Amino acid sequence: MMKYMLAGMALVFASAPALAGTPWVDQREHRQAHRIYNGIQSGSLSFNEARKLIRGQVRVRAMERQFKSDGIVTPWERARLHQALNRQQVFQRTCLPLPPRNRASREVSHPVADQQGFLAQPVH
C-alpha cells in the first residue's frame, strides 16, 4: 500500500510542470521569434534592434520558467506573461515592417467622394 502511495505521489510531482502548460504564450513566443529571425535574415533589423528584441524574448522566457517552477501558472502570472509579450509585440512593430497582406484584402474597392460630396466610381 505504501509503495502505491509513494509511486502516485512521485507521478504527481513529476507531471506538475507538464500541467503548468502555457500553450498560448508558447505560440506567441514562437511567432515573435519567427518574425525576429525573418527580420534578421531580410536585413530589415539593425544589430542593436535585433539584440534588444532577443533580450526581450529571453526575459519573457525566464519569467515563464520562473512562473512554471512551482508547477502551477496562476491567472495573474499568465496575465503578466501576456503583458510582457504585448510590450515585445509593440516594440517589434516599431522595428519591423508589417508582413504583407493577402492580395484580396488590397483589392477591396471603397467608394470615394469628390470635393462636392458626390460619390465617384470605386477605386481599384
Across residues 102-119, what is the average pLDDT? 54
Let me know how long the chain is: 124
Global confidence as pTM? 0.60
| Local structure of residue 114 (DSSP, 8 states) | -
Which pLDDT score, from 0 to 100, does residue 17 have?
Answer: 47
Q: Which has the minimum average pLDDT: 12-21, 35-44, 47-56?
A: 12-21
- Whether residue 66 has pLDDT greater than 90: yes
- Whether residue 13 has pLDDT greater than 50: no
CA distances (Å), origin 23, targets 5, 15, 64, 110 = 31, 16, 11, 39
Answer yes or no: are the C-beta atoms of 66 and 77 closer than 8 Å. no
| Residue 73 phi, psi dihedral angles, 5° rounding | -105, 110
CA distances (Å), origin 57, targets 12, 22, 35, 87, 113 = 30, 15, 12, 11, 46
Q: Where are the alpha helices (DSSP H) in the chain?
A: 2-19, 23-42, 47-68, 75-95, 103-106
Cell (9 digits) for 123? 477605386
